[in-house]
Amino acid sequence: MNKICKNADQAVSGITNDMTLMLGGFGLCGIPENCIAALARSKVSGLTCISNNAGVDDFGIGLLLQNRQVKKMISSYVGENAEFERQLLSGELEVELIPQGTLAERCRATGAGIPAFYTPAGYGTEVADGKEVREFDGKMYIMERAFQSNYAIVKAWKGDTEGNLVFKGTARNFNPMMAMAGKITIAEVEELVAPGVLDPNEIHTPGIFVNKIFLGIDYEKRIEQRTTQEL
């Protein structure tokens, strides 16, 4: 199976209106910025985006929000995007806020084939509205379901042409869990190598989970909140 795409535009070409996408990253760290830019160029619309955050106004998922391409955001933290706030308050954007650990576990459960699980996070709050509640050993839990996503889009440090991926440092974040969870997984990498080059002991995501891979370009690696101190 040839998994190699020549660029981001080819990799995301199968994504159509009203699909659900998982997008890796934490803040602006480890986001699949080439694929997001390609989606912004494609003008596909009605997207449901599952991501830890919504990017910033002019970068990351913020580009899709600016273009009104996102119908619903399923996220944990969304505090850095003024356009997201405007669309939420005006009723233009549907939003589901999830505790961060629950978001991670729903991704992991999807990849592991687990349809649902119980967690204490969110019990007694709006997070629990409409969800099954059970007691285990004297403690209350709510049931959370695994996600259903058409595509997972991730960014790795290195990958080989078989789809094996290595993530670097904190850019690992949500990427490995989401890579396992998409019906189709797209990976963009900073370095693309031949099979056998990567040390098998260092591979974080086996190629069996990756359907498309390409060499990314022009990574900005922005800092979301720059804090400096005068010396």
List pLDDT tens digits, range 148-177.
Answer: 999 999 999 999 999 999 999 999 999 999
What ranges in the chain are assigned the alpha helix state H?
8-11, 33-42, 61-66, 82-89, 100-112, 175-181
The predicted pLDDT at position 224 comes to 77
How many domains does the chain fold into? 1
pLDDT over 90 percentage in the chain = 89
Q: DSSP state, 56?
A: B
133 band by pLDDT with thresholds 50, 70 and 90 = very high
Q: Is the separation of the CB atoms in 14 and 184 below 8 Å?
A: yes
Q: Does 226 reside within a domain?
A: no
The predicted pLDDT at position 157 comes to 97
Q: In this model, does residue 17 exceed pLDDT 90?
A: yes
Range of 13's domain?
8-112+147-215
The predicted pLDDT at position 231 comes to 85
Q: What is d(CA 164, CA 63) in angstroms, rounded to the nearest whole number?
A: 29
Per DSSP (E only), the strands in the chain are 20-23, 47-50, 70-75, 94-97, 116-119, 133-136, 139-145, 151-160, 165-166, 184-193, 212-215
The per-residue pLDDT of the chain, averaged, comes to: 95
Q: In this model, does residue 31 exceed pLDDT 80?
A: yes
Q: Does 52 reside within a domain?
A: yes
- CATH at residue 191: 3.40.1080.10
The predicted pLDDT at position 138 comes to 97
Compute the average pLDDT of residues 196-202.
96
Q: What is d(CA 134, CA 167) in angstroms, rounded to the nearest whole number?
A: 37
Q: Does 222 reside within a domain?
A: no
Q: Does 174 reside within a domain?
A: yes
For 227, residues 6+ apart whose C-beta sits below 8 A from its C-beta are none
| Tokens, residue 24 | 């890796």
Compute the average pLDDT of residues 108-118.
97
CA-atom Rg of the chain in angstroms: 18
The predicted pLDDT at position 61 comes to 95
pLDDT over 70 percentage in the chain = 100
Task: Give residue 168's identity as a one-letter amino acid code.
Answer: K
Which of 36-40, 41-45, 120-124, 217-221 comes out lowest in average pLDDT? 217-221
The predicted pLDDT at position 229 comes to 87
